[in-house]
Structure 1
Amino acid sequence: MKQELRVAAYAVCVRDDEMLLARWVDREGARRWTLPGGGMDHGEEPVRTVVREVEEETGYLAEPTALLGIDSIRRSRLRRLAGPGDFQGLRIVYEVRITGGALRPETGGSTDLAAWHPLASVPTLDRVELVDIGLQLWRERPPVGRSRLTDPANG
């Protein structure tokens, strides 16, 4: 069975009771809100990945202020080949603050829009699970950086 590992870094950015999200477009054209972020380039430091990805997807310059946690997912489909296999995604989640830039959508990437959303409305959005994981890590700051939402012991 083919295996694939993807390491990515994501940003939780909350300001004035609003959360910065990017709208991800999947291969079929469905759109769901996600944390700004994405895959690490070979040799890239995770902190640089999250800074680069926030700028690419939102137009903002960001500074990581805390490592919130690391999340791991498994799927039975490979991302790159879109076929059967064993996919594992390792997602490094940082808290970031905006230091400059201006809000704008990404062009030619995997997202098509970036926006601030009131924290109270986030649960009503059409979103990926990573948004809930990031918010839970941000709110609870678990000592080992593991989300209770994906902890098998909470199954």
Structure 2
Amino acid sequence: MKLDSTDQRILRELRNDGRLSNAKLAERVGLSATPCWNRVRALEEAGVIEGYAALLNQKALGLPDTVIIEVKLAKHDERTLERFGEALADLPEVVEAFLVSGEYDYLIKVAVAGTEGYESFLRRKLYRLPGFQDSRSIFALRCLKRSVSVEP
């Protein structure tokens, strides 16, 4: 789907506030309600808009610390990668996970409550995942930018 400038304005507005009513969105992008609604539907159907979500404050939820973890697997066959990936996706502490190139196989972002919470996550969960071999961790000191998607 080729995006025109109106589509891009719609996407920027929804990226900033996914709860905008269609009337307010239409007003902000300079359309009447029906054409705006049709464009949003087309963007959803084309998969440009994948969904809508609430952003939760991890500190308010008792998980103030973010840790970035590089994980190395013992083997790299399809079954090991699949089993590890599925098990990883089921862990509630995992905010994001990527299969990556390089020395390590996965890059994982987790939300935990301090070093005790992190140790518990490592020992009771991560180390027990199928295929796990080694990890290296980095505690985030402060978040400088947080976006839920790319800028259109």
Ranked by relative contact order (alpha carbons within 8 Å, sequence separation 6 or more), the top structure is: 1
The structure with more radius of gyration:
2
Q: Which TM-score applies when normalising by structure 2? A: 0.25
Structure with greater strand percent: 1
Structure with greater helix percent: 2
